[in-house]
Structure 1
Amino acid sequence: MPPPERRLTAIFCADVVGYSRLVGQDETGTLARLDQARAILQTAIAAQGGRVFNLAGDGLLAEFPSALGAVQAAIAAQDSLGVWAADQPEGQRMRLRIGVNLGDVVVSGADLLGDGVNVAARLQEVALPGGICLSGAVHDQVRGRIETGFADLGPRPMKNIAEPVRVYALRMGADAHRVESVTPQVAPVVADDGSLFGHFRRRLIGGVMLLALLLVINLMTDPRDLWVRWVALGLAIMLVMPMVRRLLSGRPLGARSK
Protein backbone atom coordinates (compact mmCIF):
# COMPACT_ATOMS: atom_id res chain seq x y z
CA MET A 1 0.00 0.00 0.00
CA PRO A 2 1.56 3.33 -1.02
CA PRO A 3 2.13 5.94 1.70
CA PRO A 4 -0.44 8.74 1.92
CA GLU A 5 0.22 11.83 -0.14
CA ARG A 6 1.42 14.75 1.97
CA ARG A 7 2.17 18.36 1.24
CA LEU A 8 3.07 21.60 2.96
CA THR A 9 0.32 24.16 2.56
CA ALA A 10 -1.30 27.20 4.16
CA ILE A 11 -4.62 26.40 5.83
CA PHE A 12 -7.37 28.99 6.33
CA CYS A 13 -10.12 28.15 8.85
CA ALA A 14 -13.21 30.34 9.41
CA ASP A 15 -16.05 29.77 11.85
CA VAL A 16 -19.18 31.69 12.89
CA VAL A 17 -19.23 33.15 16.41
CA GLY A 18 -22.21 31.96 18.49
CA TYR A 19 -23.79 30.04 15.63
CA SER A 20 -26.05 27.89 17.84
CA ARG A 21 -27.41 30.99 19.57
CA LEU A 22 -28.11 32.66 16.22
CA VAL A 23 -29.91 29.57 14.92
CA GLY A 24 -31.99 29.43 18.10
CA GLN A 25 -33.11 33.02 17.58
CA ASP A 26 -33.84 32.82 13.85
CA GLU A 27 -33.03 29.59 12.02
CA THR A 28 -34.15 30.66 8.54
CA GLY A 29 -32.49 34.06 8.70
CA THR A 30 -29.26 32.62 10.14
CA LEU A 31 -28.98 29.99 7.40
CA ALA A 32 -29.50 32.67 4.76
CA ARG A 33 -26.81 34.88 6.34
CA LEU A 34 -24.45 31.89 6.57
CA ASP A 35 -24.76 31.39 2.80
CA GLN A 36 -24.03 35.10 2.28
CA ALA A 37 -21.02 35.00 4.59
CA ARG A 38 -19.63 31.94 2.81
CA ALA A 39 -20.03 33.67 -0.54
CA ILE A 40 -17.95 36.60 0.77
CA LEU A 41 -15.31 34.19 2.08
CA GLN A 42 -15.17 32.23 -1.17
CA THR A 43 -14.74 35.42 -3.20
CA ALA A 44 -11.81 36.53 -1.04
CA ILE A 45 -10.27 33.04 -1.14
CA ALA A 46 -10.55 32.69 -4.91
CA ALA A 47 -8.98 36.13 -5.41
CA GLN A 48 -5.78 34.87 -3.71
CA GLY A 49 -5.65 31.51 -5.50
CA GLY A 50 -7.11 29.50 -2.63
CA ARG A 51 -9.31 26.40 -2.74
CA VAL A 52 -12.18 25.61 -0.37
CA PHE A 53 -11.98 21.93 0.62
CA ASN A 54 -14.47 21.64 3.50
CA LEU A 55 -17.80 23.32 4.33
CA ALA A 56 -18.86 21.20 7.30
CA GLY A 57 -21.21 22.80 9.84
CA ASP A 58 -20.95 26.56 10.08
CA GLY A 59 -17.23 26.59 9.25
CA LEU A 60 -15.08 26.73 6.15
CA LEU A 61 -11.63 25.34 5.40
CA ALA A 62 -9.46 26.41 2.48
CA GLU A 63 -5.88 25.84 1.34
CA PHE A 64 -3.48 28.27 -0.32
CA PRO A 65 -0.20 27.83 -2.17
CA SER A 66 1.34 30.57 0.00
CA ALA A 67 0.96 31.85 3.57
CA LEU A 68 0.87 35.43 2.29
CA GLY A 69 -2.09 34.66 0.03
CA ALA A 70 -3.98 33.03 2.91
CA VAL A 71 -3.42 36.04 5.20
CA GLN A 72 -4.38 38.54 2.49
CA ALA A 73 -7.56 36.55 1.85
CA ALA A 74 -8.34 36.53 5.59
CA ILE A 75 -7.89 40.31 5.85
CA ALA A 76 -10.02 40.98 2.75
CA ALA A 77 -12.71 38.60 4.00
CA GLN A 78 -12.94 40.18 7.46
CA ASP A 79 -13.04 43.68 5.96
CA SER A 80 -15.89 42.70 3.63
CA LEU A 81 -17.73 40.77 6.35
CA GLY A 82 -17.51 43.78 8.66
CA VAL A 83 -19.19 46.01 6.07
CA TRP A 84 -21.80 43.32 5.30
CA ALA A 85 -22.70 42.80 8.98
CA ALA A 86 -22.80 46.49 9.93
CA ASP A 87 -26.50 46.86 9.14
CA GLN A 88 -27.58 43.66 10.89
CA PRO A 89 -29.35 43.94 14.27
CA GLU A 90 -26.80 43.78 17.11
CA GLY A 91 -28.26 40.62 18.65
CA GLN A 92 -28.33 38.81 15.28
CA ARG A 93 -25.11 40.15 13.77
CA MET A 94 -23.01 37.39 12.24
CA ARG A 95 -19.28 37.65 12.90
CA LEU A 96 -16.57 35.16 12.12
CA ARG A 97 -13.18 34.20 13.51
CA ILE A 98 -10.35 33.14 11.20
CA GLY A 99 -7.19 31.13 11.88
CA VAL A 100 -4.30 30.65 9.44
CA ASN A 101 -1.60 27.99 9.76
CA LEU A 102 1.27 26.75 7.61
CA GLY A 103 1.80 23.05 8.08
CA ASP A 104 2.08 19.53 6.75
CA VAL A 105 -1.21 17.91 5.72
CA VAL A 106 -2.40 14.52 4.45
CA VAL A 107 -4.33 14.51 1.17
CA SER A 108 -7.54 12.45 1.29
CA GLY A 109 -9.29 12.86 -2.04
CA ALA A 110 -10.44 16.47 -2.17
CA ASP A 111 -10.11 16.81 1.60
CA LEU A 112 -7.04 17.60 3.74
CA LEU A 113 -6.33 16.11 7.17
CA GLY A 114 -3.72 16.23 9.91
CA ASP A 115 -2.19 18.57 12.47
CA GLY A 116 -1.74 21.34 9.90
CA VAL A 117 -5.53 21.56 9.60
CA ASN A 118 -6.19 21.03 13.31
CA VAL A 119 -3.89 23.90 14.33
CA ALA A 120 -5.70 26.28 11.96
CA ALA A 121 -9.00 25.29 13.60
CA ARG A 122 -7.57 25.92 17.09
CA LEU A 123 -6.18 29.29 15.99
CA GLN A 124 -9.61 30.55 14.92
CA GLU A 125 -10.92 29.65 18.37
CA VAL A 126 -8.35 32.03 19.91
CA ALA A 127 -9.22 34.95 17.62
CA LEU A 128 -11.60 37.71 18.64
CA PRO A 129 -14.94 37.95 16.78
CA GLY A 130 -14.08 39.60 13.48
CA GLY A 131 -10.40 38.86 14.08
CA ILE A 132 -7.59 36.73 12.67
CA CYS A 133 -4.96 34.64 14.45
CA LEU A 134 -1.82 33.24 12.81
CA SER A 135 0.63 30.56 13.82
CA GLY A 136 4.27 31.50 14.30
CA ALA A 137 5.12 29.75 11.02
CA VAL A 138 2.71 32.01 9.12
CA HIS A 139 3.91 35.12 10.96
CA ASP A 140 7.49 34.36 9.92
CA GLN A 141 6.39 34.24 6.27
CA VAL A 142 4.31 37.45 6.19
CA ARG A 143 5.93 39.90 8.64
CA GLY A 144 7.14 42.96 6.79
CA ARG A 145 5.00 42.02 3.78
CA ILE A 146 1.61 43.29 4.99
CA GLU A 147 0.68 46.63 6.54
CA THR A 148 -1.45 45.19 9.34
CA GLY A 149 0.26 45.04 12.75
CA PHE A 150 0.61 41.98 14.99
CA ALA A 151 0.17 41.21 18.67
CA ASP A 152 2.29 38.35 19.98
CA LEU A 153 0.04 36.21 22.20
CA GLY A 154 2.86 33.84 23.07
CA PRO A 155 2.93 30.01 22.99
CA ARG A 156 -0.51 28.47 23.51
CA PRO A 157 -1.27 24.83 24.40
CA MET A 158 -3.82 23.41 21.96
CA LYS A 159 -6.12 20.43 22.27
CA ASN A 160 -4.68 17.27 20.68
CA ILE A 161 -1.55 19.13 19.54
CA ALA A 162 1.68 17.82 21.08
CA GLU A 163 3.56 21.11 21.42
CA PRO A 164 2.32 24.65 22.24
CA VAL A 165 1.85 26.85 19.18
CA ARG A 166 3.04 30.46 19.11
CA VAL A 167 0.07 32.66 18.25
CA TYR A 168 -0.05 36.10 16.67
CA ALA A 169 -3.22 38.18 16.35
CA LEU A 170 -3.66 40.67 13.55
CA ARG A 171 -4.72 44.12 14.70
CA MET A 172 -8.00 44.55 12.85
CA GLY A 173 -9.74 47.92 12.51
CA ALA A 174 -11.78 49.20 15.45
CA ASP A 175 -11.03 46.07 17.48
CA ALA A 176 -7.24 46.52 17.28
CA HIS A 177 -7.03 47.79 20.88
CA ARG A 178 -8.92 44.71 22.14
CA VAL A 179 -6.27 42.31 20.88
CA GLU A 180 -4.27 42.91 24.05
CA SER A 181 -7.17 41.57 26.12
CA VAL A 182 -6.35 38.03 25.00
CA THR A 183 -2.62 38.41 25.56
CA PRO A 184 -1.47 36.14 28.40
CA GLN A 185 -0.25 38.19 31.34
CA VAL A 186 2.69 36.80 33.30
CA ALA A 187 2.97 38.28 36.77
CA PRO A 188 6.48 39.29 37.84
CA VAL A 189 7.84 37.11 40.64
CA VAL A 190 9.20 39.82 42.91
CA ALA A 191 8.09 43.08 41.31
CA ASP A 192 6.51 45.79 43.46
CA ASP A 193 2.85 45.78 42.34
CA GLY A 194 1.93 48.86 44.36
CA SER A 195 0.24 46.90 47.17
CA LEU A 196 1.55 46.46 50.71
CA PHE A 197 2.46 42.86 49.86
CA GLY A 198 4.45 44.14 46.89
CA HIS A 199 6.43 46.53 49.13
CA PHE A 200 6.91 43.74 51.69
CA ARG A 201 8.39 41.37 49.09
CA ARG A 202 10.80 44.01 47.83
CA ARG A 203 11.94 45.04 51.30
CA LEU A 204 12.23 41.43 52.49
CA ILE A 205 14.58 40.55 49.65
CA GLY A 206 16.65 43.65 50.30
CA GLY A 207 16.74 42.88 54.05
CA VAL A 208 17.84 39.28 53.52
CA MET A 209 20.66 40.38 51.22
CA LEU A 210 21.81 42.97 53.77
CA LEU A 211 21.71 40.45 56.64
CA ALA A 212 23.71 37.94 54.61
CA LEU A 213 26.42 40.54 54.03
CA LEU A 214 26.48 41.63 57.70
CA LEU A 215 26.61 38.00 58.86
CA VAL A 216 29.73 37.41 56.77
CA ILE A 217 31.33 40.54 58.25
CA ASN A 218 30.29 39.49 61.77
CA LEU A 219 31.82 36.01 61.42
CA MET A 220 35.02 37.35 59.93
CA THR A 221 35.56 40.01 62.64
CA ASP A 222 34.27 38.49 65.90
CA PRO A 223 32.43 35.15 65.56
CA ARG A 224 32.03 34.90 69.38
CA ASP A 225 29.77 37.97 69.48
CA LEU A 226 26.86 37.49 67.07
CA TRP A 227 25.84 41.15 67.02
CA VAL A 228 24.09 40.74 63.67
CA ARG A 229 21.09 39.24 65.51
CA TRP A 230 20.17 42.73 66.81
CA VAL A 231 20.23 44.08 63.26
CA ALA A 232 17.97 41.20 62.17
CA LEU A 233 15.52 42.02 64.98
CA GLY A 234 15.41 45.69 63.97
CA LEU A 235 14.81 44.84 60.32
CA ALA A 236 12.03 42.42 61.25
CA ILE A 237 10.27 45.14 63.25
CA MET A 238 10.61 47.58 60.34
CA LEU A 239 9.05 45.03 57.98
CA VAL A 240 6.15 44.04 60.23
CA MET A 241 5.11 47.47 61.52
CA PRO A 242 3.55 48.73 58.21
CA MET A 243 1.37 45.61 58.07
CA VAL A 244 0.33 46.05 61.70
CA ARG A 245 -0.59 49.69 61.07
CA ARG A 246 -2.60 48.67 57.98
CA LEU A 247 -4.51 46.06 60.00
CA LEU A 248 -5.24 48.49 62.83
CA SER A 249 -6.54 51.06 60.34
CA GLY A 250 -8.90 48.50 58.79
CA ARG A 251 -7.41 48.79 55.29
CA PRO A 252 -6.99 45.57 53.25
CA LEU A 253 -3.43 44.31 53.01
CA GLY A 254 -3.59 43.78 49.23
CA ALA A 255 -4.82 47.31 48.46
CA ARG A 256 -2.56 49.53 46.43
CA SER A 257 -0.81 52.35 48.28
CA LYS A 258 -2.10 55.79 47.44
Structure 2
Amino acid sequence: MEAPEPEKRQVTAIMSTAMVGPGSQLQSLEFPLLEEHARLVRELLPRHGGREVKMMEDGFLLEFERGLSAVRFGVALQERVAGRNRLAAPDQRMELRVGVHLGPVVHQNGEVFGEGVNLAARLEALAQPGTLYVSEAVAREVEGHPLPPAHRLGRSELKRIRLPVAVFRIEPRRNVVRPALFARFRSLFFTQRRASS
Protein backbone atom coordinates (compact mmCIF):
# COMPACT_ATOMS: atom_id res chain seq x y z
CA MET A 1 0.00 0.00 0.00
CA GLU A 2 1.46 3.36 -1.09
CA ALA A 3 1.93 6.12 1.46
CA PRO A 4 -0.26 9.19 0.86
CA GLU A 5 1.41 12.10 -0.85
CA PRO A 6 2.46 14.80 1.66
CA GLU A 7 0.53 18.06 1.72
CA LYS A 8 1.96 20.99 -0.24
CA ARG A 9 0.82 24.49 0.65
CA GLN A 10 1.11 27.43 -1.73
CA VAL A 11 -0.68 30.53 -2.98
CA THR A 12 -2.39 30.05 -6.33
CA ALA A 13 -5.36 31.40 -8.28
CA ILE A 14 -8.34 29.05 -8.16
CA MET A 15 -11.16 29.35 -10.68
CA SER A 16 -14.59 27.78 -10.44
CA THR A 17 -16.83 27.71 -13.53
CA ALA A 18 -20.44 26.63 -13.88
CA MET A 19 -22.56 26.40 -16.98
CA VAL A 20 -26.04 27.88 -17.06
CA GLY A 21 -28.30 26.36 -19.67
CA PRO A 22 -31.35 27.70 -21.50
CA GLY A 23 -33.82 29.06 -19.00
CA SER A 24 -31.08 29.05 -16.34
CA GLN A 25 -32.20 25.61 -15.17
CA LEU A 26 -29.57 22.96 -14.50
CA GLN A 27 -31.96 20.22 -15.55
CA SER A 28 -32.26 21.85 -18.99
CA LEU A 29 -28.55 21.47 -19.69
CA GLU A 30 -28.01 19.11 -22.57
CA PHE A 31 -25.03 16.79 -22.85
CA PRO A 32 -23.77 18.33 -26.12
CA LEU A 33 -23.59 21.76 -24.45
CA LEU A 34 -21.65 20.32 -21.52
CA GLU A 35 -19.28 18.64 -23.97
CA GLU A 36 -18.79 21.91 -25.82
CA HIS A 37 -18.09 23.72 -22.56
CA ALA A 38 -15.42 21.12 -21.77
CA ARG A 39 -13.90 21.44 -25.25
CA LEU A 40 -13.65 25.23 -24.98
CA VAL A 41 -12.07 25.05 -21.53
CA ARG A 42 -9.51 22.41 -22.54
CA GLU A 43 -8.66 24.21 -25.77
CA LEU A 44 -7.92 27.55 -24.08
CA LEU A 45 -6.42 26.33 -20.79
CA PRO A 46 -2.88 25.43 -22.02
CA ARG A 47 -2.54 28.85 -23.69
CA HIS A 48 -2.90 30.53 -20.32
CA GLY A 49 -0.82 28.19 -18.20
CA GLY A 50 -3.77 26.75 -16.33
CA ARG A 51 -4.33 23.29 -14.89
CA GLU A 52 -7.55 21.32 -14.77
CA VAL A 53 -8.04 20.12 -11.21
CA LYS A 54 -11.33 18.38 -11.90
CA MET A 55 -14.50 18.50 -13.94
CA MET A 56 -17.70 18.78 -11.95
CA GLU A 57 -21.33 18.20 -12.89
CA ASP A 58 -21.78 21.60 -14.54
CA GLY A 59 -18.30 23.12 -14.66
CA PHE A 60 -14.64 23.00 -13.75
CA LEU A 61 -12.23 23.63 -10.91
CA LEU A 62 -9.08 25.14 -12.44
CA GLU A 63 -5.77 26.39 -11.08
CA PHE A 64 -3.35 29.10 -12.24
CA GLU A 65 -0.07 30.40 -10.85
CA ARG A 66 -1.32 34.00 -10.95
CA GLY A 67 -4.61 35.82 -10.78
CA LEU A 68 -3.73 37.68 -13.98
CA SER A 69 -3.42 34.42 -15.94
CA ALA A 70 -6.74 33.22 -14.55
CA VAL A 71 -8.53 36.42 -15.57
CA ARG A 72 -6.99 36.37 -19.05
CA PHE A 73 -8.27 32.82 -19.45
CA GLY A 74 -11.70 33.65 -18.02
CA VAL A 75 -12.14 36.67 -20.29
CA ALA A 76 -11.06 34.66 -23.35
CA LEU A 77 -13.46 31.86 -22.40
CA GLN A 78 -16.43 34.18 -21.88
CA GLU A 79 -15.71 36.00 -25.16
CA ARG A 80 -15.55 32.68 -27.03
CA VAL A 81 -18.87 31.65 -25.51
CA ALA A 82 -20.44 35.01 -26.44
CA GLY A 83 -19.17 34.64 -30.02
CA ARG A 84 -20.51 31.10 -30.21
CA ASN A 85 -23.91 32.22 -28.91
CA ARG A 86 -24.29 34.81 -31.68
CA LEU A 87 -24.48 31.91 -34.15
CA ALA A 88 -26.58 29.55 -32.02
CA ALA A 89 -30.34 29.05 -31.84
CA PRO A 90 -31.91 30.57 -28.71
CA ASP A 91 -32.45 27.15 -27.11
CA GLN A 92 -28.82 26.18 -27.77
CA ARG A 93 -27.12 29.17 -26.16
CA MET A 94 -24.93 28.65 -23.13
CA GLU A 95 -23.75 30.98 -20.41
CA LEU A 96 -21.04 30.55 -17.81
CA ARG A 97 -20.54 31.88 -14.32
CA VAL A 98 -16.90 32.26 -13.27
CA GLY A 99 -15.36 32.94 -9.85
CA VAL A 100 -11.65 33.51 -9.17
CA HIS A 101 -9.75 33.86 -5.89
CA LEU A 102 -6.03 34.15 -5.21
CA GLY A 103 -5.01 32.65 -1.91
CA PRO A 104 -3.42 29.77 0.00
CA VAL A 105 -4.44 26.24 -0.90
CA VAL A 106 -3.32 22.73 -0.03
CA HIS A 107 -2.26 20.25 -2.74
CA GLN A 108 -2.47 16.54 -2.08
CA ASN A 109 -2.80 13.60 -4.49
CA GLY A 110 -3.67 15.88 -7.41
CA GLU A 111 -6.52 17.56 -5.52
CA VAL A 112 -6.70 21.12 -4.18
CA PHE A 113 -8.25 22.01 -0.82
CA GLY A 114 -8.63 24.99 1.45
CA GLU A 115 -10.18 28.41 1.80
CA GLY A 116 -9.03 29.47 -1.67
CA VAL A 117 -11.14 26.74 -3.24
CA ASN A 118 -14.17 27.56 -1.09
CA LEU A 119 -14.00 31.29 -1.88
CA ALA A 120 -13.68 30.69 -5.64
CA ALA A 121 -16.80 28.51 -5.50
CA ARG A 122 -18.73 31.14 -3.53
CA LEU A 123 -17.71 33.88 -5.98
CA GLU A 124 -18.84 31.72 -8.90
CA ALA A 125 -22.21 31.10 -7.24
CA LEU A 126 -22.69 34.88 -6.91
CA ALA A 127 -21.56 35.72 -10.44
CA GLN A 128 -23.95 36.91 -13.10
CA PRO A 129 -23.88 34.67 -16.20
CA GLY A 130 -21.35 35.93 -18.75
CA THR A 131 -19.14 37.64 -16.14
CA LEU A 132 -16.22 36.92 -13.82
CA TYR A 133 -16.46 37.66 -10.10
CA VAL A 134 -13.03 37.99 -8.52
CA SER A 135 -11.58 38.73 -5.11
CA GLU A 136 -9.62 41.89 -4.31
CA ALA A 137 -6.27 40.10 -4.58
CA VAL A 138 -7.12 39.12 -8.15
CA ALA A 139 -8.44 42.60 -9.00
CA ARG A 140 -5.14 44.14 -7.84
CA GLU A 141 -3.16 41.89 -10.19
CA VAL A 142 -5.37 42.81 -13.15
CA GLU A 143 -5.11 46.57 -12.57
CA GLY A 144 -3.07 48.33 -15.26
CA HIS A 145 -3.25 45.46 -17.75
CA PRO A 146 -5.15 45.61 -21.08
CA LEU A 147 -8.21 43.76 -19.81
CA PRO A 148 -11.79 44.80 -19.04
CA PRO A 149 -11.78 46.73 -15.74
CA ALA A 150 -12.72 45.18 -12.41
CA HIS A 151 -15.64 47.02 -10.76
CA ARG A 152 -16.04 46.73 -7.00
CA LEU A 153 -19.53 45.62 -6.03
CA GLY A 154 -21.54 47.31 -3.33
CA ARG A 155 -23.46 45.55 -0.59
CA SER A 156 -26.79 45.85 -2.38
CA GLU A 157 -25.39 44.07 -5.44
CA LEU A 158 -24.35 41.11 -3.28
CA LYS A 159 -27.88 40.66 -1.88
CA ARG A 160 -26.79 40.73 1.77
CA ILE A 161 -24.29 37.90 1.28
CA ARG A 162 -21.08 38.81 3.06
CA LEU A 163 -17.76 37.30 2.11
CA PRO A 164 -14.43 37.69 3.93
CA VAL A 165 -13.11 39.43 0.79
CA ALA A 166 -14.20 42.37 -1.35
CA VAL A 167 -15.90 41.26 -4.56
CA PHE A 168 -15.23 42.69 -8.04
CA ARG A 169 -17.07 42.08 -11.33
CA ILE A 170 -15.28 41.85 -14.69
CA GLU A 171 -17.46 42.01 -17.78
CA PRO A 172 -15.76 40.65 -20.91
CA ARG A 173 -16.24 42.48 -24.17
CA ARG A 174 -19.24 40.97 -25.94
CA ASN A 175 -19.04 42.62 -29.34
CA VAL A 176 -15.39 42.55 -30.27
CA VAL A 177 -14.80 43.64 -33.86
CA ARG A 178 -11.91 41.74 -35.32
CA PRO A 179 -9.17 44.09 -36.66
CA ALA A 180 -8.98 42.29 -40.01
CA LEU A 181 -12.75 42.50 -40.48
CA PHE A 182 -12.76 46.18 -39.50
CA ALA A 183 -9.92 46.90 -41.95
CA ARG A 184 -11.84 45.17 -44.74
CA PHE A 185 -14.95 47.31 -44.13
CA ARG A 186 -12.84 50.47 -43.93
CA SER A 187 -11.07 49.61 -47.18
CA LEU A 188 -14.41 48.94 -48.92
CA PHE A 189 -15.85 52.21 -47.59
CA PHE A 190 -12.94 54.34 -48.83
CA THR A 191 -12.88 52.53 -52.21
CA GLN A 192 -16.57 53.36 -52.72
CA ARG A 193 -16.00 57.00 -51.71
CA ARG A 194 -13.16 57.41 -54.19
CA ALA A 195 -15.24 55.82 -56.96
CA SER A 196 -18.19 58.15 -56.34
CA SER A 197 -16.09 61.37 -56.15
Q: Per the shorter chain, which TM-score range?
A: 0.7 to 0.9
Deviates more, 1:57-66 or 1:85-94: 85-94
Question: How far did 1:83 drift?
Answer: 1.2
| Percentage of pairs with the same residue | 31
SS of residue matched to 2:144? coil
Aligned counterparts of 2:79 and 2:149: Cα–Cα separation in 1: 15
Query: Which runs of structure 1 show a deviation greater than 6 angstroms over 4 or more consecutive aligned residues?
Result: none
The corresponding residue for 2:15 is 12
- Which sections of structure 1, spanning at least 5 residues, go unmatched? 24-29, 176-258
The corresponding residue for 1:171 is 171
Question: How far did 1:60 drift?
Answer: 0.3
Aligned counterparts of 1:75 and 1:86: Cα–Cα separation in 2: 17
8 Å CA contact retained: 1:44, 1:74: no
Shift of the 2–148 alpha-carbon distance from structure 1 to 2, 3 Å rule, reads closer
8 Å CA contact retained: 2:6, 2:108: no
- Which sections of structure 2, spanning at least 5 residues, go unmatched? 176-197
Shift of the 2–63 alpha-carbon distance from structure 1 to 2, 3 Å rule, reads closer
Q: Deviations over 1:180-226 (max 9, x none)?
A: xxxxxxxxxxxxxxxxxxxxxxxxxxxxxxxxxxxxxxxxxxxxxxx
Greater helix fraction, Structure 1 or Structure 2? 1
Letter of the aligned partner of 1:173 in structure 2? R
Aligned counterparts of 2:149 and 2:74: Cα–Cα separation in 1: 14
Letter of the aligned partner of 1:5 in structure 2? K
Larger radius of gyration: 1
Question: How far did 1:158 drift?
Answer: 5.8
The corresponding residue for 1:73 is 73
Letter of the aligned partner of 1:58 in structure 2? D
8 Å CA contact retained: 1:16, 1:97: yes
SS of residue matched to 1:102? strand
Question: How far did 1:88 drift?
Answer: 2.5
Query: How many residue pairs are counted as aligned between the two chains?
Result: 166
The corresponding residue for 1:202 is none
Q: Deviations over 1:142-167 (max 9, x none)?
A: 111233122211466768xxx53211
The corresponding residue for 2:100 is 100
Greater relative contact order structure (CA < 8 Å, 6+ sep): 2
Aligned counterparts of 2:117 and 2:161: Cα–Cα separation in 1: 13
SS of residue matched to 1:128? coil
The corresponding residue for 1:22 is 28
Greater strand fraction, Structure 1 or Structure 2? 2
